[in-house]
Structure 1
Amino acid sequence: MTQGNIQIVRYGDLIPCKTAFIDAHTPGSNQKENFTIIGGGVSESPDQHVHINIPHGFNIGAAGQPPKCRNSLHSHRTAEVFFVLKGRWRFFWGRWGTAGEVVLEEGDIINIPTGIFRGFENIGTDYGMIMAILGGDDAGGGVIWAPQVIQDAADHGLILSEKGKLYDTKKGEKLPDGVAPMPVLTDQDLTTFPEPTSHDVVPNHVARYLNMVALADRNPALVIGEHGILKDKPGFEVDFLTRQSAQINPASAAMPTVLMPMRGHWHLTCGDLQKTLNPGDTASIHAETPYTIAPCMTGEASLYRITATTDPAGPTWKGK
């Protein structure tokens, strides 16, 4: 839905891709649904649908998974942030996924440190959904897979080219002449990937939903930013709004902004445009566009807001 300087992608209109990544055939990971909402994302499949293909300085995506389905170990060169929209999720990291872990409940958010292998799985009882923010318009140039993921994928018919494109040998596809497979990281390469413990990661990279609700009782709570709960400068900022800290007076940002409701129904007004946003919806607001956003029904209401900054979309910044 596009009207003027506002574009809205409804949760119910999201188009999934089940062949987005190299582990699409690997047992335990082959039921994933990936969604690219804003920006090109990091999908390795031409089947991936992009809902809003306009540069924002960051990418917005999502992953939907049934219980016991996991996303294989990988790394990124820019920030990867998730908040749990539905379900209960376990995030784990390290070369073999055993260095540390944390369980996130609905509304919790994690800013996973760059440069470590990470994965996640739905440990709830129903289909779960996590929403993702990736730093940079090109999201750091793609995904870096742990060696065993590439090897397991080949055993199940999928080969990733050095250019980041998937080929399915079960469909008779093969690498084109002159194109090599994606190199597998060597033992020397792997020494550059840290193995932080849960005690290293959780205090500085995870924020809990109820804590953010309490902090946003008067003003929006800055969650990710130089002075945020999770101190970082990944090329965007994330703040958290509740009924008590809604934006009832028109205001704008110098950079593109994205609104992502977590709880309740929110009334978005931009000039003559009036729309209701629901949990799972994504609204893109162009730079310098005044708007208001406030709950339109009684009950619990919370919303994540992502705003681009001029900071480079590089590795996770260690704030002081």
Structure 2
Amino acid sequence: MTPQELDARIVRYGDLVPCKTAFIDAHTPGSDQKENFTIIGGGVSESPDQHVHIKDTPGFNIGAAGQPPKCRNSLHSHRTAEVFFVLRGRWRFFWGRWGTAGEVVLEEGDIFNIPTGIFRGFENIGTDYGMIMAILGGDDAGGGVIWAPQVIEDARDHGLVLAETGKLYDTRKGQSLPEGVSPMPLLTEEELTAFAEPSAAEVVPDFVARYWDLMAVAADAPARVIGPDALLTDRPGFEVDFITRGSIGEDAYTTDRHEVLMPVRGYWRLDVDGTRTVLNPGDTCAVPPGARRSLAPAMTGEASLYRVRNTDDPAGPTRAH
């Protein structure tokens, strides 16, 4: 692999291109300052302005959300897995029809495998700009976002209308729905009953892993975070491992799976088919199947990263609520 080919498979944190009009709540007060990033795959953005860094998907999508303090992402659901880990800041995740069924606060490095079939939202409760990285199941990320009815109604009051096609129209800019296209219908009360309302006691133990717990577990070998035999048992169409300085050697290896590397702390030296680079926190690297690679911390000090690989499992909602 040439240096140019490897560079094309890396999205650097400093090169991320934000979209401020990605979703229906882009004008809603309290949510109008968030930035959405589509890193690998098309994601679930509803805006044609969304920049996609790497279009080819490995069986899942990678994205990110950046938000200033007190900025909130509105209640929504997905048909496939949605996994977040905190890169920067302190975040509160909440869920349920009105966001009151349960909540959990995540610190830097913590990971949350959000149960499918629930409405969820999140907000930056830190004191500075924060960033969370996301893994979405499936090549098409489940076909889009399912919004809680009040989110669609609030957005309409602030000039944004979501069409049944999943495309946004901004009435403040004079846009209107094309002839023959209807607004996205609100979920009925009967349909809403299908969305679970689990408590924090039901969710947190089985769906959240804490960074410092993972650092301890991965002291000598990579920690299995998400997978059929992992700390957070699941089969979402991908698996997630957590790697530290002491849990991986410098020996080269290959795999027949797509592998995405996402550093959390420290700097990581990566060699792929004879080409060397360094990955920094917030970078995302997609290593193709069959490539010979080695991975090791490039400097002394704390070092950790999440490694995501595709599996043969379907990307649908495989978890029990």
Q: State if a TM-score over 0.5 links the two structures.
A: yes
Q: Secondary structure at the match of 2:112?
A: strand
Per the alignment, residue 174 of structure 1 pairs with 176
Q: Secondary structure at the match of 1:251?
A: coil
Per the alignment, residue 48 of structure 2 pairs with 46
Letter matched to residue 124 of structure 1: G
- Conserved 8 A contact 2:273-2:291: no
Letter matched to residue 92 of structure 1: F
How far off its partner does 1:317 sit?
2.4
Per the alignment, residue 228 of structure 2 pairs with 226
How far off its partner does 1:254 sit?
1.3
CA distance in 2, matches of 1:16, 1:256: 25
Q: How does 1:60-79 map to 2 (within 5 A)?
A: 60-79=62-81
Q: Secondary structure at the match of 2:240?
A: strand
How far off its partner does 1:318 sit?
3.9
Find the partner of 2:274 among 272, 275, 291. Answer: 272
Per the alignment, residue 92 of structure 1 pairs with 94
Letter matched to residue 88 of structure 1: R
Per the alignment, residue 258 of structure 1 pairs with 260
TM-score (norm 2): 0.98
CA distance in 2, matches of 1:182, 1:246: 48
- Conserved 8 A contact 2:238-2:308: yes
- Conserved 8 A contact 1:224-1:231: yes
CA distance in 2, matches of 1:247, 1:235: 27
CA distance in 2, matches of 1:176, 1:6: 38
Per the alignment, residue 207 of structure 2 pairs with 205
Q: In the TM superposition, what whole-angstrom CA distance separates every residue of 1:71-115 from its partner, at most 9, and x where no partner exists? A: 000000000000000000000000000000000000000000001
Q: Secondary structure at the match of 1:189?
A: helix
How far off its partner does 1:253 sit?
1.9
- Conserved 8 A contact 1:2-1:8: no
Percent of residue pairs bearing the same amino acid type: 70
Letter matched to residue 66 of structure 1: P
Question: Which stretches of structure 1, 4 residues or longer, exceed 3 Å deviation after superposition?
Answer: none
Per the alignment, residue 29 of structure 1 pairs with 31
How far off its partner does 1:271 sit?
2.2
How far off its partner does 1:250 sit?
1.1
CA distance in 2, matches of 1:253, 1:22: 39
Q: In the TM superposition, what whole-angstrom CA distance separates every residue of 1:152-185 from its partner, at most 9, and x where no partner exists? A: 0000000000010000000000000011110100
How far off its partner does 1:5 sit?
9.3
Q: In the TM superposition, what whole-angstrom CA distance separates every residue of 1:270-296 from its partner, at most 9, and x where no partner exists? A: 122100000000000011112011101
- Conserved 8 A contact 2:116-2:319: no
Q: How many residues align?
A: 319
Find the partner of 1:139 among 138, 141, 144. Answer: 141
- Conserved 8 A contact 1:93-1:118: yes
Letter matched to residue 176 of structure 1: P
Letter matched to residue 135 of structure 2: I
Going from structure 1 to structure 2, the CA distance change for 1:22 and 1:7 (only over 3 Å counts) comes to: same
CA distance in 1, matches of 2:249, 2:24: 42
CA distance in 2, matches of 1:33, 1:2: 28
Per the alignment, residue 299 of structure 2 pairs with 297
Going from structure 1 to structure 2, the CA distance change for 1:247 and 1:289 (only over 3 Å counts) comes to: farther
Per the alignment, residue 15 of structure 1 pairs with 17
Q: Secondary structure at the match of 1:292?
A: strand
How far off its partner does 1:249 sit?
1.1
- Conserved 8 A contact 1:20-1:47: yes
Going from structure 1 to structure 2, the CA distance change for 1:247 and 1:180 (only over 3 Å counts) comes to: farther
Per the alignment, residue 313 of structure 1 pairs with 315
Letter matched to residue 282 of structure 1: T
How far off its partner does 1:2 sit?
4.7
How far off its partner does 1:213 sit?
0.4
Going from structure 1 to structure 2, the CA distance change for 1:216 and 1:292 (only over 3 Å counts) comes to: same
How far off its partner does 1:6 sit?
6.6
Q: Secondary structure at the match of 1:249?
A: coil
